[in-house]
Protein backbone atom coordinates (compact mmCIF):
# COMPACT_ATOMS: atom_id res chain seq x y z
CA UNK A 1 0.00 0.00 0.00
CA UNK A 2 1.39 3.45 -0.87
CA UNK A 3 2.74 5.34 2.13
CA UNK A 4 3.05 9.08 2.67
CA UNK A 5 5.91 9.68 0.18
CA UNK A 6 4.10 7.88 -2.63
CA UNK A 7 0.81 9.72 -2.02
CA UNK A 8 2.60 13.07 -1.75
CA UNK A 9 4.44 12.35 -5.00
CA UNK A 10 1.13 11.57 -6.73
CA UNK A 11 -0.39 14.77 -5.31
CA UNK A 12 2.44 16.89 -6.67
CA UNK A 13 2.16 15.20 -10.07
CA UNK A 14 -1.57 15.90 -10.26
CA UNK A 15 -1.34 19.59 -9.34
CA UNK A 16 -0.51 20.91 -12.84
CA UNK A 17 -3.43 19.07 -14.43
CA UNK A 18 -6.06 19.47 -11.70
CA UNK A 19 -5.47 22.31 -9.25
CA UNK A 20 -7.38 25.44 -10.21
CA UNK A 21 -9.09 23.61 -13.07
CA UNK A 22 -12.71 22.60 -13.64
CA UNK A 23 -13.82 18.99 -13.85
CA UNK A 24 -15.81 19.29 -17.07
CA UNK A 25 -17.12 15.75 -16.75
CA UNK A 26 -16.61 12.84 -14.39
CA UNK A 27 -17.15 9.26 -15.50
CA UNK A 28 -17.97 6.76 -12.74
CA UNK A 29 -17.86 3.37 -14.40
CA UNK A 30 -18.88 1.12 -11.50
CA UNK A 31 -20.96 1.52 -8.32
CA UNK A 32 -18.17 0.92 -5.84
CA UNK A 33 -14.57 0.21 -5.03
CA UNK A 34 -13.76 -0.86 -1.47
CA UNK A 35 -17.19 0.53 -0.55
CA UNK A 36 -19.95 2.21 -2.58
CA UNK A 37 -19.29 5.59 -4.15
CA UNK A 38 -21.28 8.50 -2.67
CA UNK A 39 -24.68 9.20 -4.17
CA UNK A 40 -24.65 11.08 -7.49
CA UNK A 41 -20.85 11.38 -7.40
CA UNK A 42 -20.47 12.05 -11.13
CA UNK A 43 -23.08 14.83 -11.00
CA UNK A 44 -21.57 16.40 -7.88
CA UNK A 45 -18.10 16.44 -9.44
CA UNK A 46 -19.10 17.60 -12.91
CA UNK A 47 -18.62 21.35 -13.32
CA UNK A 48 -16.79 21.75 -10.00
CA UNK A 49 -13.45 23.54 -9.82
CA UNK A 50 -10.63 22.02 -7.77
CA UNK A 51 -9.48 24.96 -5.65
CA UNK A 52 -6.67 23.02 -3.97
CA UNK A 53 -5.23 19.53 -4.08
CA UNK A 54 -4.09 18.45 -0.62
CA UNK A 55 -3.10 15.36 1.33
CA UNK A 56 -3.84 14.03 4.80
CA UNK A 57 -1.83 10.99 5.81
CA UNK A 58 -2.29 8.53 2.92
CA UNK A 59 -5.40 10.27 1.52
CA UNK A 60 -5.57 12.68 -1.41
CA UNK A 61 -7.95 15.60 -0.83
CA UNK A 62 -9.53 17.43 -3.77
CA UNK A 63 -11.03 20.61 -2.30
CA UNK A 64 -13.87 21.76 -4.58
CA UNK A 65 -15.51 25.15 -5.03
CA UNK A 66 -18.82 23.46 -4.15
CA UNK A 67 -17.74 23.35 -0.48
CA UNK A 68 -17.17 19.61 -0.73
CA UNK A 69 -13.91 17.68 -0.69
CA UNK A 70 -13.30 14.46 -2.60
CA UNK A 71 -11.32 12.03 -0.43
CA UNK A 72 -9.28 9.51 -2.44
CA UNK A 73 -7.44 6.48 -1.09
CA UNK A 74 -5.28 4.55 -3.54
CA UNK A 75 -5.55 1.24 -1.69
CA UNK A 76 -3.23 -1.60 -2.66
CA UNK A 77 -3.09 -1.06 -6.40
CA UNK A 78 -4.80 2.24 -7.22
CA UNK A 79 -3.22 4.81 -9.54
CA UNK A 80 -4.15 8.34 -10.47
CA UNK A 81 -2.63 8.90 -13.91
CA UNK A 82 -2.66 11.95 -16.18
CA UNK A 83 -3.03 11.40 -19.93
CA UNK A 84 -3.21 13.67 -22.96
CA UNK A 85 -2.27 16.86 -21.16
CA UNK A 86 0.54 18.50 -23.13
CA UNK A 87 -0.13 21.89 -21.52
CA UNK A 88 0.54 20.32 -18.13
CA UNK A 89 3.74 18.64 -19.28
CA UNK A 90 2.24 15.16 -19.59
CA UNK A 91 2.21 13.44 -22.95
CA UNK A 92 1.07 9.90 -22.22
CA UNK A 93 -1.92 8.41 -23.96
CA UNK A 94 -3.43 5.17 -22.74
CA UNK A 95 -5.15 4.70 -26.08
CA UNK A 96 -8.62 4.38 -24.59
CA UNK A 97 -10.25 2.95 -21.51
CA UNK A 98 -8.39 0.14 -19.78
CA UNK A 99 -10.18 -2.68 -17.98
CA UNK A 100 -9.62 -1.28 -14.50
CA UNK A 101 -10.18 2.43 -15.25
CA UNK A 102 -13.00 2.98 -12.75
CA UNK A 103 -13.24 6.79 -12.50
CA UNK A 104 -12.16 9.29 -15.15
CA UNK A 105 -11.90 13.05 -14.64
CA UNK A 106 -12.11 15.05 -17.87
CA UNK A 107 -10.45 18.34 -16.95
CA UNK A 108 -10.76 21.76 -18.55
CA UNK A 109 -7.64 22.28 -20.64
CA UNK A 110 -7.65 18.79 -22.10
CA UNK A 111 -6.19 16.62 -19.36
CA UNK A 112 -7.76 13.29 -18.53
CA UNK A 113 -7.03 11.92 -15.06
CA UNK A 114 -7.83 8.26 -14.59
CA UNK A 115 -8.23 6.28 -11.37
CA UNK A 116 -7.17 2.73 -12.21
CA UNK A 117 -7.41 0.04 -9.54
CA UNK A 118 -7.16 -3.66 -10.48
CA UNK A 119 -7.73 -4.96 -6.93
CA UNK A 120 -10.42 -2.40 -6.07
CA UNK A 121 -9.12 -1.77 -2.53
CA UNK A 122 -9.11 1.96 -3.22
CA UNK A 123 -11.89 4.29 -2.12
CA UNK A 124 -13.52 7.66 -2.76
CA UNK A 125 -15.91 9.69 -0.67
CA UNK A 126 -17.31 13.22 -0.69
CA UNK A 127 -17.48 15.25 2.52
CA UNK A 128 -18.37 18.81 3.48
CA UNK A 129 -15.08 20.70 3.50
CA UNK A 130 -15.84 22.57 6.72
CA UNK A 131 -16.42 19.25 8.52
CA UNK A 132 -13.60 17.33 6.89
CA UNK A 133 -11.65 16.80 10.11
CA UNK A 134 -14.67 14.97 11.57
CA UNK A 135 -14.94 12.50 8.68
CA UNK A 136 -14.61 8.93 9.93
CA UNK A 137 -11.58 8.28 7.72
CA UNK A 138 -9.65 11.27 9.05
CA UNK A 139 -10.93 12.02 12.54
CA UNK A 140 -8.49 9.83 14.49
CA UNK A 141 -5.34 10.45 12.46
CA UNK A 142 -2.36 11.91 14.30
CA UNK A 143 -0.11 14.80 13.25
CA UNK A 144 1.61 14.97 9.88
CA UNK A 145 5.27 13.94 10.30
CA UNK A 146 6.43 16.84 8.11
CA UNK A 147 4.25 19.35 9.94
CA UNK A 148 4.99 21.52 12.97
CA UNK A 149 2.73 19.58 15.32
CA UNK A 150 4.90 16.48 15.03
CA UNK A 151 7.75 17.37 17.35
CA UNK A 152 9.95 15.87 20.04
CA UNK A 153 7.47 16.59 22.83
CA UNK A 154 4.61 14.92 20.97
CA UNK A 155 6.53 11.71 20.29
CA UNK A 156 7.96 11.49 23.81
CA UNK A 157 4.46 11.86 25.29
CA UNK A 158 2.99 9.37 22.79
CA UNK A 159 5.60 6.74 23.66
CA UNK A 160 5.40 7.20 27.43
CA UNK A 161 4.23 4.02 29.16
CA UNK A 162 3.70 2.09 25.92
CA UNK A 163 4.58 -1.58 26.15
CA UNK A 164 4.34 -2.17 22.40
CA UNK A 165 7.42 -2.42 20.15
CA UNK A 166 8.52 0.92 18.75
CA UNK A 167 7.81 -0.24 15.22
CA UNK A 168 4.18 -0.96 16.10
CA UNK A 169 3.91 2.43 17.82
CA UNK A 170 5.14 4.26 14.72
CA UNK A 171 2.68 2.35 12.53
CA UNK A 172 -0.16 3.61 14.75
CA UNK A 173 -1.80 6.31 12.62
CA UNK A 174 -3.10 7.96 15.79
CA UNK A 175 0.49 8.72 16.84
CA UNK A 176 1.83 9.88 13.49
CA UNK A 177 0.14 10.04 10.10
CA UNK A 178 1.20 8.29 6.94
CA UNK A 179 4.03 6.04 8.08
CA UNK A 180 3.96 2.46 6.85
CA UNK A 181 6.14 -0.60 7.00
CA UNK A 182 8.85 0.54 4.60
CA UNK A 183 9.64 3.94 6.08
CA UNK A 184 9.40 2.83 9.70
CA UNK A 185 12.01 0.15 9.00
CA UNK A 186 14.22 2.64 7.20
CA UNK A 187 13.88 5.39 9.83
CA UNK A 188 14.60 3.05 12.73
CA UNK A 189 17.77 1.83 11.01
CA UNK A 190 18.94 5.38 10.42
CA UNK A 191 18.26 6.16 14.07
CA UNK A 192 19.99 3.00 15.32
CA UNK A 193 16.92 1.88 17.28
CA UNK A 194 15.85 -1.77 17.34
CA UNK A 195 12.28 -2.30 16.08
CA UNK A 196 11.84 -4.78 18.94
CA UNK A 197 12.52 -2.27 21.69
CA UNK A 198 9.47 -1.28 23.73
CA UNK A 199 8.43 2.27 22.87
CA UNK A 200 8.00 3.24 26.51
CA UNK A 201 11.50 2.11 27.40
CA UNK A 202 13.39 4.27 24.94
CA UNK A 203 15.12 7.18 26.63
CA UNK A 204 13.59 10.57 25.89
CA UNK A 205 16.71 11.93 24.12
CA UNK A 206 16.65 8.97 21.70
CA UNK A 207 12.94 9.46 21.03
CA UNK A 208 13.54 13.16 20.41
CA UNK A 209 16.36 12.34 17.98
CA UNK A 210 14.03 10.03 16.07
CA UNK A 211 11.80 12.92 14.95
CA UNK A 212 14.29 14.57 12.55
CA UNK A 213 15.33 11.14 11.28
CA UNK A 214 11.72 10.34 10.32
CA UNK A 215 11.45 13.70 8.56
CA UNK A 216 14.73 13.16 6.70
CA UNK A 217 13.71 9.65 5.60
CA UNK A 218 10.38 10.89 4.23
CA UNK A 219 11.91 13.89 2.47
CA UNK A 220 14.53 11.69 0.81
CA UNK A 221 11.79 9.32 -0.35
CA UNK A 222 9.64 12.14 -1.75
CA UNK A 223 12.63 13.57 -3.60
CA UNK A 224 13.18 10.13 -5.16
CA UNK A 225 9.51 9.89 -6.20
CA UNK A 226 8.61 7.27 -3.61
CA UNK A 227 9.20 3.52 -3.77
CA UNK A 228 7.87 1.26 -6.54
CA UNK A 229 7.68 -2.32 -5.30
CA UNK A 230 4.55 -3.61 -7.07
CA UNK A 231 1.79 -1.43 -8.46
CA UNK A 232 2.78 2.10 -7.46
CA UNK A 233 3.42 4.64 -10.22
CA UNK A 234 3.68 8.42 -10.22
CA UNK A 235 0.98 10.53 -11.88
CA UNK A 236 2.90 10.54 -15.16
CA UNK A 237 3.32 6.75 -15.07
CA UNK A 238 6.97 6.83 -13.93
CA UNK A 239 8.25 4.58 -11.18
CA UNK A 240 9.69 5.78 -7.88
CA UNK A 241 13.38 5.24 -7.17
CA UNK A 242 13.78 5.28 -3.38
CA UNK A 243 13.82 1.46 -3.32
CA UNK A 244 17.30 1.61 -4.84
CA UNK A 245 18.60 3.26 -1.66
CA UNK A 246 16.89 1.04 0.93
CA UNK A 247 19.20 0.45 3.87
CA UNK A 248 17.34 -2.56 5.30
CA UNK A 249 13.88 -3.05 3.77
CA UNK A 250 13.82 -6.19 1.61
CA UNK A 251 17.57 -6.77 2.14
CA UNK A 252 17.50 -9.86 4.37
CA UNK A 253 20.94 -11.49 4.52
CA UNK A 254 22.76 -8.50 3.02
CA UNK A 255 25.56 -6.70 4.79
CA UNK A 256 24.51 -3.70 6.87
CA UNK A 257 25.40 -0.44 5.13
CA UNK A 258 26.31 1.35 8.37
CA UNK A 259 30.01 2.20 8.30
CA UNK A 260 32.01 -0.17 10.51
CA UNK A 261 28.98 -2.22 11.58
CA UNK A 262 29.81 -5.63 10.13
CA UNK A 263 26.32 -6.97 10.78
CA UNK A 264 23.77 -8.40 8.38
CA UNK A 265 20.16 -7.46 7.79
CA UNK A 266 17.65 -9.73 9.48
CA UNK A 267 13.95 -10.27 8.87
CA UNK A 268 11.45 -10.94 11.62
CA UNK A 269 7.64 -10.82 11.67
CA UNK A 270 5.87 -8.31 13.90
CA UNK A 271 2.07 -8.16 13.97
CA UNK A 272 1.98 -10.09 10.71
CA UNK A 273 4.32 -7.67 8.93
CA UNK A 274 7.93 -8.22 7.83
CA UNK A 275 10.45 -6.15 9.75
CA UNK A 276 13.98 -5.67 8.44
CA UNK A 277 16.76 -4.48 10.73
CA UNK A 278 20.37 -4.95 11.80
CA UNK A 279 20.72 -6.43 15.30
CA UNK A 280 24.35 -5.32 15.40
CA UNK A 281 23.85 -1.55 15.15
CA UNK A 282 20.18 -1.17 16.11
CA UNK A 283 19.83 -1.35 19.88
- The catalytic residue positions are 2-3, 58, 273
DSSP state, 191?
Answer: H
**Cα angle at 176 between 175 and 177, to 5 degrees?**
130
Do 18 and 105 form a contact (C-beta atoms < 8 A)? yes
According to DSSP, the β-strands at 101-107 and 112-116 are antiparallel
The CA distances from residue 36 to 28, 75, 122, 215, 261, in Å, are 11, 14, 11, 35, 51
The CA distances from residue 22 to 83, 89, 129, in Å, are 16, 18, 17
Return the SS3 of 154: helix
Q: State how far the Cα of 56 lies from the Cα of 68, in Å rounded to an integer.
A: 15
DSSP state, 85?
Answer: B
Q: What stretches of 4-159 adopt beta strand conformation (E)?
A: 23-28, 50-56, 59-64, 68-73, 79-83, 101-107, 112-116, 123-128
Amino acid sequence: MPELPEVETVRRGLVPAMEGRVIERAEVRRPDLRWPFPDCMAERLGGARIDALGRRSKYLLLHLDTDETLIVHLGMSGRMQVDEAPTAGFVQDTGGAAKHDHVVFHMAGGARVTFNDPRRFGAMDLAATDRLDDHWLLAKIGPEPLGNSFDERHLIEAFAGRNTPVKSALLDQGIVAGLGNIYVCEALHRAGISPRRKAGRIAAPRVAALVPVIRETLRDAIEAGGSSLRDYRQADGAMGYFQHTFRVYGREGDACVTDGCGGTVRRIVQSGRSTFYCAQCQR
